[in-house]
Structure 1
């Protein structure tokens, strides 16, 4: 890892804004693996409440469908955090920002563990999710430092870590929550967030500020960046549709698996269903190679085809477990392939990658949060078919945007 004085050197490697750190120090070698691991842990925080909804409802003497909105709170909080914090990657040094946000997220998780009602828990989840934007501060760093012919594969490595965290949140959260209670899960997540967040901040390279002007200049520049980049705008809307479909299904799945009208599983057994999400970690590096070879547009079209097949399988999975398992694999493969393609495009389509990445991820999570917010009432009124209908509607909206061609 270069020292602060590295900016005064005259070699091309150290003068280039996106150059890799000089040398082969332990910090340099650990950078990408540690970023992927930190991404996994911080991403898990967003979905921490979803597999624990039956336990939270029991603790607060409510019903799972009545507390399902907590999953939407987490996603809205993450979108808000992205809007305000992620653009700072172009304006401030990431090391300090990663450290501060990790501490804030951990403190909020501890407060959530100590909450005595859904209102206080929702506030803690909102703050924790807003501070859990570390992955999107680090993805632009990985993209700009990767060789051009392997950029999508490097981005895919971080995305694989992100989805591994989503799987861990469901599987480990369900198991630990069933054994020790949901509050222990929140405390454990806080401890991991602090350790890995501070470790990642330590190994990050020292950077020079690239954008001058007000601290939130990147946020102010968002409308202009979207207006002048049709490719970025399309990537945003495409991923909002895909992520909304996945989010409606995945955040509501615990209601089907653990509900009396569904499969009646325990929280631990329902959490193990998240192992099917490991398909995302397998598909991510493959998708990165396909994007580098065939281009983003073709990969996104293929991803939407997979997702379109998964929705009727999810509907059938309300009664047939085998269909539900197959659908879980397909929808994760579709989501991660689309995400790798669209995010690679977003990171390379403008001269302000952190700002462009903010627009992209905010759009995706806003679509996911809105779909999750509708999925809870849909489940309460129409059961699992209502959730599948919400997912199908989001795919139709996303595909309509995908089908629009350049003039």
Structure 2
């Protein structure tokens, strides 16, 4: 498989005269994919808001089990490496169905876990198999008209972030009322139904690549090296997603701890601020189509930089936490729309490029959240904010200096 870049980066697009208008069937197809993406993406974040309940069930403390949330992100990154590149080579219908069944089985195993070790294994497997959204996003980009491509990608990303928020809000409320194990069972049922329904409506595809099935995995390093735009999108999203993950995966520890003393259900309602920010996705898609990806990413980083001191202030002042939660979600969503659209359109192998992009983002998120738990234990909420700020600096400075060298 060639790793040469043949597609063009996302720049402002002129709308062609007589451009095709999406049909009702196209819109319904997009809605179903967005809903499936929401349900499957939620599986990666189930454990985060439930940490206090999990700790109580296993006779531990929330900070002592915070690492389980990081396990999910490492599992997702692992699954992406092996499964997402297959979107360039195999029929996605049976692959989506098989992964949905595997995720369901792992979630049910997690619901029955007798301890933290068994739960961590189940969470890792479930996250590794729940890579369906990243098989669907390249398909959406392929089917979309060029002048609406970022808007279509944004619709799926909006579904993804709605799922992330739902994992916190609905998971916290249901977990508080019925226990964390019921949340895992309910997510397993939704994953099975939506995953199989989506697989049923996907177009049938023939194998499109030659050579070994996992050749896309071997092509990843060369693909990233040969595409400066993909390289920058990977690192900038790793920095942005790492900052968000550090703050968001430990927020329940702050809200249920001594500073505020909220219940798990009340803490979960903070996800509603993220849901409000998810409305940014369609706007960001329009801005990318009109002004280009670079301007949108720069604006997103500026907004994220403002949110970090607001989060620090939010350790003592509730209104600052409200504003910071909206700001950091809006920044993450806007950056994700711009960076992922760039990753999908800058090479001739979009599924493999998308794999590199999402693996980079989730690896950055997993590393940051794995540091955030110990930082909270040793230095409190201020330590978490420092981790988030460092990740933003790394994500931006590393790509800015690299761009000057190139």
**TM-score category, normalised to shorter length:** over 0.9
Structure 2 CA distance for aligned equivalents of residues 101 and 55 of structure 1: 28
User: Residue 77 of structure 1 aligns with which residue?
Assistant: 75
Could you tell me how far 1:281 is from its partner in structure 2? 2.0
User: Residue 21 of structure 1 aligns with which residue?
Assistant: none
Name the count of aligned residue pairs: 385
Q: Say whether 1:347 aligns with 2:344.
A: yes
Instruction: Give deviations 1:167-220, integer Å, cap 9, x for gaps.
Output: 100000000000000000000000000000000000001123222111101111
Could you tell me how far 1:262 is from its partner in structure 2? 2.1
Q: Which has the higher contact order (CA 8 A, sep 6+)?
A: 2
Q: Say whether 1:296 aligns with 2:331.
A: no
Q: Structure 1 residues 402 and 227 mapped into 2: Cα distance closer, same or farther (>3 Å)? A: closer
Equivalent position to 1:377, from 341, 356, 374: 374
Give the alignment's TM-score, normalised by structure 2: 0.93
**Structure 2: gaps (5+ residues):** 1-21
Q: Say whether 1:262 aligns with 2:259.
A: yes
User: Residue 107 of structure 2 aligns with which residue?
Assistant: 109
Structure 1 CA distance for aligned equivalents of residues 127 and 67 of structure 2: 14
Q: Structure 1 residues 340 and 28 mapped into 2: Cα distance closer, same or farther (>3 Å)? A: closer
Instruction: Give deviations 1:69-114, integer Å, cap 9, x for gaps.
Output: 0000000000000000000001110000000000000000000000
Alignment of 1:6-405 (within 5 A): 28-259=26-257, 261-403=258-400, 404-405=403-404
**Structure 1: gaps (5+ residues):** 1-23
Q: Structure 1 residues 164 and 398 mapped into 2: Cα distance closer, same or farther (>3 Å)? A: same
Could you tell me how far 1:401 is from its partner in structure 2? 2.7
Q: Verify the 8 A CA contact 1:30 1:203 in the aligned structure 2.
A: no
Give the alignment's TM-score, normalised by structure 1: 0.93
SS at match of 1:394: helix
Could you tell me how far 1:139 is from its partner in structure 2? 0.2
Q: Verify the 8 A CA contact 2:77 2:359 in the aligned structure 1.
A: yes
Q: Verify the 8 A CA contact 2:277 2:327 in the aligned structure 1.
A: no
Structure 2 CA distance for aligned equivalents of residues 291 and 382 of structure 1: 39
Structure 2 CA distance for aligned equivalents of residues 358 and 197 of structure 1: 20
RMSD: 1.5
Structure 2 CA distance for aligned equivalents of residues 292 and 391 of structure 1: 29
Q: Verify the 8 A CA contact 1:49 1:71 in the aligned structure 2.
A: yes
